[in-house]
């Protein structure tokens, strides 16, 4: 077995698995994993979709319907609307300013919303026509958060399998040979590729490899 503190290969070079690992830097894969792994918690792994990175798809509802519904409760400025939508969807839906403000401008043009300034902020309030519109079209507008609530109840918590992957990777990083480290690096890269294929709706067929790997690591 190699010394757990030895982070160099037999050729005397630092192996990239240690400082360019897909889960963060740091020898031994300790705190370098950062948020989102194991006991650190973090975005997305609990299935609630918080803090998605730019470019990744997130569940969305009808922004127009959500804004009208929220303004029916109380006047709000754009940032409050974004906060309320995030809270109502348990963080699964986070519309950007580039989504909210054009909707408010359109509703103002239609006479459904009045925009006033309050302490430097643009406050949106439903007009009488806006309130009548919401009442008359309640069935058409529906509940923009209902689909998100239903989806939230079916999400799978990924923290446990990720923690198990980290544990296995940590063991290899601490005591593996140069060849084992290189093989582990290839496996991690392939896993990353497979996860992106799932996002692209090219989901692989389930296999029994998980059980075999667990038996090998026992």
Does residue 146 share a domain with residue 70? yes
Q: What is the length of the chain?
A: 218
Chain-centroid distance of CA 76 in Å reads 26
Tokens representing 136? 């008359």
CB atoms within 10 A of CB 104: 22
Q: What is the pLDDT of residues 153-167, one digit of tens each?
A: 555 667 788 888 899
Q: What is the pLDDT of residues 86-145, one digit of tens each?
A: 888 877 788 889 999 999 999 999 999 999 998 888 899 999 999 999 999 988 888 887
Give residue 188's domain range: 16-47+157-217
Task: Tell me what pLDDT residue 33 has.
Answer: 44
Domains identified in the chain, total number: 2
> Which of 96-99's residues contact partners 24+ apart within 8 Å by CB, and which partners?
99/63
DSSP codes, 89-113: TTTS----HHHHHHHHHHHHHTTSE
Rank 45-59, 74-88, 146-160 by mean pLDDT and report only the highest: 74-88
Does residue 148 share a domain with residue 76? yes
Does residue 87 share a domain with residue 138? yes
Does residue 181 share a domain with residue 146? no
Q: What is the pLDDT of residues 181-209, one digit of tens each?
A: 999 999 999 999 888 888 786 444 555 55
User: C-alpha distances in angstroms, 159 versus 15, 32, 67, 206, 208?
Assistant: 27, 17, 33, 20, 21
Element (H, E) at 140: helix 138-141
Confirm if 130 and 112 have CB atoms less than 8 A apart. Answer: yes
Show which of 123, 152, 181 is a domain's final residue. 152
Does residue 182 share a domain with residue 134? no
Q: What is the pLDDT of residues 56-80, one digit of tens each?
A: 333 445 899 999 999 999 999 999 9
Does residue 72 share a domain with residue 125? yes
**β-bridge partners, 83:** none
């Amino acid at each position: 077995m190699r010394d757990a503190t030895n982070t160099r290969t037999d050729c005397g070079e630092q192996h990239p698995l240690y400082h360019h690992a897909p889960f963060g830097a740091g020898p031994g894969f300790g705190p370098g994993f950062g948020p989102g792994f194991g006991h650190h918690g973090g975005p997305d792994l609990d299935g609630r979709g918080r803090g998605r990175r730019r470019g990744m798809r997130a569940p969305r509802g009808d922004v127009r319907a959500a804004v009208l519904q929220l303004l029916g409760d109380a006047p709000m400025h754009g940032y409050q609307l974004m906060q309320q939508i995030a809270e109502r969807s348990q963080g699964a839906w986070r519309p950007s300013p580039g989504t909210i403000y054009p909707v408010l401008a359109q509703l103002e043009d239609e006479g459904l919303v009045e925009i006033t300034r309050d302490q430097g902020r643009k406050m949106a309030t439903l007009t009488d026509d806006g309130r009548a519109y919401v009442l008359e079209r309640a069935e058409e507008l529906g509940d923009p958060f209902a689909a998100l609530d239903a989806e939230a109840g079916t999400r799978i918590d990924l923290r446990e399998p990720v923690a198990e992957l980290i544990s296995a990777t940590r063991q290899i990083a601490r005591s593996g040979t140069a060849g084992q480290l290189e093989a582990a690096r290839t496996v991690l890269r392939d896993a990353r590729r497979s996860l992106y294929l799932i996002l692209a709706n090219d989901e692989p067929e389930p296999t029994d490899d998980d059980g075999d790997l667990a038996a090998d690591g026992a």
